[in-house]
Amino acid sequence: MTNYSIDNHWFDQLKKDHTFLIAGPCSAETSDQVLEIAHAVKGVASIFRAGIWKPRTRPGGFEGVGSIGLEWLRQVKEETGLPIGVEIATPEHVELALKYDIDVLWIGARTSVNPFAVQDIANVLKNTDRIVMLKNPVNPDMPLWMGGLERLLKAGIQKVALIHRGFSTYEKNKYRNVPEWQIPLDIKAQFPQIKMINDPSHITGNRSMIFDTAQMALDLNFDGLMIETHRSPDQAWSDAAQQVTPQALIEIVHTLKSRDLSNSEELFQMQLKNFRIEIDELDTNILKLLHKRMNLVEKIGYLKKEKNVAVFQQERWQEVLEKMKQNAKEYKLGEAFITDLYKAIHLESIARQGKIINNK
Ligand code: PEP
Ligand code: MN
């Protein structure tokens, strides 16, 4: 990574009881609503959030109260002392937010997909001392997210963080936006200094799943959480199903277990090392088996070439997948995991046979 200047002091200063939490409603609705929620969460929240410009997938939905909300949020800050965060999507939003002394400006998932938009925002925020957070783009594109981060860093913004809010899929799923944990973990590996915040509200879309997702994030050593909180979630003007009450939020925060990065105890280190040696051996065996499997796949490729038979055989693929899903049960391996694994193996197999058939 190029050497950018990163300032994380704000993060440690804002942590409360070891947890960094951004809480508040999806959308600011009335002055009374934001004030009531902010007072109710101020004991556990590091930052109060409220959307005032809401990017909606289709027109006609509630698009946010607009800049009047900035007045209400100013009052929230005055009364509770909580720093305020809002989503910004255009340079005009940034200018208004700065005028109202908003502490945290975050770029939403529908904006972070667009490098022009992120660059325009980075340009108006050049060298700002505000905290700027970048949500992952709606599509699972790691370089695009990273590119957005680099645009902010290049503009000399030193107080930066990322927010993992999951990724859209075409297929229906138990998540509103699938987490694809590997993506934020890969970015963390490349930018270890950048704080990574998990947003279980937008990942799950469902308040009953928030605790487990937030705990998973802490187990993976994420640095903080953003959880949408509303005084009467079912009546919320946006994202009703995923918001929790302040009471539920406080319970979630108190039940979550934060994890240490490591433990220096000798016994722990020794046991960990032994298990890892065994895992490394198994991983090598997995590769050996895959190598053998691919050799057979190639032999079949030559047979198909000789008889001019198509590479992709729908029935055979269904048969393999069904058999493996059945076998997986015996070995207590999840169906979704085995399906993904076999899709990857199958894709590699047909690519190899394709090359053989086409003499590549
Ligand atoms: C939000 O935080 O309310 C929001 C609109 O999120 P996202 O950009 O993740 O969809
Ligand atoms: Mn929302």
Quick check: CB of 166 below 6 Å from ligand 1? no
Q: Are residues 166 and 228 in the same domain?
A: yes
Q: Are residues 194 and 127 in the same domain?
A: yes
Q: Report how far ligand 2's centroid is from the alpha carbon of 224 (Å).
A: 17
Last residue of a domain, one of 234, 255, 276: 255
| Residue 4, domain member (yes or no) | no
Domains identified in the chain, total number = 2
Q: Report how far ligand 1's centroid is from the alpha carbon of 236 (Å).
A: 15
pLDDT digits over 255-289, tens only?
A: 999 888 888 989 999 999 999 999 999 999 999 99
Q: Are residues 251 and 319 in the same domain?
A: no
Quick check: CB of 230 below 6 Å from ligand 1? no
Name the pTM for this structure.
Answer: 0.86
Q: What percent of the chain has pLDDT over 90?
A: 92
Q: Are residues 347 and 237 in the same domain?
A: no
Q: Report how far ligand 1's centroid is from the alpha carbon of 27 (Å).
A: 10
Local confidence band at 1 (pLDDT 50, 70, 90 cut-offs) = low
Q: Are residues 232 and 305 in the same domain?
A: no
Local confidence band at 324 (pLDDT 50, 70, 90 cut-offs) = very high
Query: Given this model, what pLDDT does residue 43 score?
Result: 96
Local confidence band at 196 (pLDDT 50, 70, 90 cut-offs) = very high
| Residue 319, domain member (yes or no) | yes
Q: Tell whether the model's pLDDT for residue 44 goes beyond 70.
A: yes
Quick check: CB of 188 below 6 Å from ligand 1? no
Higher-confidence residue: 258 or 22? 22
Residue 216, domain CATH: 3.20.20.70
Q: Are residues 235 and 295 in the same domain?
A: no
Q: Are residues 250 and 278 in the same domain?
A: no
- Which of 134, 165, 237 is the best mutation target for the ligand 1 pocket, counting ligand atoms within 8 Å of the beta carbon and taking the most? 165
| Residue 45, domain member (yes or no) | yes
Q: Report how far ligand 1's centroid is from the alpha carbon of 92 (Å).
A: 19
Using CA positions, which residue lies closest to atom 10 of ligand 1?
A: 109
Local confidence band at 55 (pLDDT 50, 70, 90 cut-offs) = confident
Q: Are residues 119 and 156 in the same domain?
A: yes
Say how far apart CA 200 and CA 216 lie, in whole Å: 10
Q: Are residues 288 and 214 in the same domain?
A: no
Q: For residue 50, what are the domain limits? A: 9-255
